[in-house]
């Protein structure tokens, strides 16, 4: 569904993405994991066409994303920080976005109702708590029933109940065969959802493998422990190289 080949992006001296190669397919829930600044959001934004790569290509259903912006209709995007016009009310934001999209697709309003946004329509965006803003972003991402969902830190700021509602929704959409990309630092949240893990560091893919493979390779059941194992191993290898150079 999405094919990434030799993707490179530099911000001045900083190599934010360094030769990324990956195939993302229907039915996968891919967790993008990595330290702060490792390139996760830059990769997501490149797929969305919001960041222009310096080199490499991204194909969406075999067509370069640079060819036509229409592919974006098939993607629901929940940004890390949703920015909306401050003076608009929740109800107006939903109406505006529905109007922009037209009536072509059947709406999926499950999150809209489960998050009880229908009871908050007169609240101005300016006055929203961080968590309610996240609920608006989540409900909008799923609203047009997209084939692909890209969720950047979706549970950050959500209360435990809202977080569970969102996770159940992701699982339900995965069962429908959608492709879902998620970044999160809360590994326990990803554990229940993920089929595959891409670990980024300094703009490079350290590994991209299925959860099962990762569990087998590390001997660890829990995602957090498995990732810690890989990171520790990486550090030991680097230390061994430094020692060899020093000697």
Ligand X SMILES: Nc1ncnc2c1ncn2[C@@H]1O[C@H](COP(=O)(O)OP(=O)(O)OP(=O)(O)O)[C@@H](O)[C@H]1O
To ligand X, the closest distance from the beta carbon of 123 in angstroms equals 27
In 3D, which of 114, 232, 223, 91 has the Cα closest to residue 162?
Answer: 114
Q: Do 69 and 49 meet the contact criterion of CB atoms below 8 Å apart?
A: yes
In angstroms, what is the minimal distance from the CB of 81 to ligand X?
A: 10
Q: Record the tokens describing residue 136, joined without a space.
A: 């608006």
Shortest Cβ 134–ligand X spacing (Å): 15
Give whichever of 36 and 99 is closer to ligand X, judged by the CB atom.
Answer: 36
Contact yes or no for 180/28 (Cβ under 8 A): yes
Q: Which three-class secondary structure state does DSSP give residue 23?
A: strand
The nearest distance, CB 87 to ligand X, in angstroms, is 27
Shortest separation between residue 9's beta carbon and ligand X, angstroms: 8
Look at the block and give the residue holding tokens 């036509």: 68
Long-range contacts of 226-231 (CB under 8 A, 24+ apart): 227/33, 227/187, 227/197, 227/199, 230/199, 230/206
- Give contact residues for ligand X (rule: CB under 6 A): 11, 14, 16, 34, 36-42
CA dist., res. 23 & res. 75, Å (int): 16
In whole angstroms, give the CA distance from residue 68 to residue 198. Answer: 27
Least distance to ligand X, CB of residue 45, Å? 8
Identify which of residues 52 and 106 has a Cβ nearer to ligand X in the complex: 52
Nearer to ligand X, 42 or 132 (CB): 42
Nearer to ligand X, 186 or 240 (CB): 186
What span, in angstroms and rounded, lies between the C-alpha atoms of 102 and 211? 39
Indicate the residue among 55 and 105 with the shorter CB distance to ligand X: 55
DSSP code of 79? -
Taking the least distance from each CB to ligand X, the nearer of 16 and 90 is 16
| Cα dist from 224 to 150, 207, 230, whole Å | 22, 15, 10
CB of 139 to ligand X, least distance (A): 22
166: CB partners within 8 A, 6+ apart: 111, 138, 154, 155, 158
Q: Which is nearer to ligand X, 16 or 138 (CB)?
A: 16
């Amino acid at each position: 569904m999405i094919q990434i080949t030799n993707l490179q992006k530099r911000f001045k001296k900083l190599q934010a993405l360094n030769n990324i190669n990956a195939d993302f397919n229907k039915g996968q829930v891919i967790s993008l994991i990595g330290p702060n600044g490792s390139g996760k959001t830059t990769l997501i934004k490149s797929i969305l066409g919001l960041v222009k790569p310096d080199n490499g290509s991204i194909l969406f259903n075999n067509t370069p994303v640079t060819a036509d912006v229409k592919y974006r209709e098939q993607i629901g995007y929940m940004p890390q920080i949703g920015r909306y016009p401050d003076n608009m009310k929740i109800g107006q934001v939903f109406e505006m976005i529905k109007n922009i999209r037209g009536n072509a697709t059947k709406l999926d309003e499950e999150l809209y109702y489960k998050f009880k946004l229908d009871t908050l329509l007169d609240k101005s965006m300016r006055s929203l708590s961080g968590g309610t803003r996240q609920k608006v972003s989540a409900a909008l991402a799923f609203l047009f029933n997209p084939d692909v969902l890209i969720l950047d830190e979706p549970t950050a700021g959500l209360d435990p109940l809202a977080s569970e509602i969102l996770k159940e929704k992701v699982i339900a959409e995965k069962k429908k065969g959608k492709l879902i990309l998620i970044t999160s630092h809360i590994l326990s949240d990803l554990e229940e959802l993920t089929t595959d893990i891409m670990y980024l560091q300094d703009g490079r893919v350290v590994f991209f493998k299925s959860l099962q493979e990762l569990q087998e390779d590390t001997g660890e059941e829990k995602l957090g422990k498995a990732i810690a194992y890989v990171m520790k191993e990486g550090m030991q290898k680097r230390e061994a190289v430094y020692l060899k150079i020093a000697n």
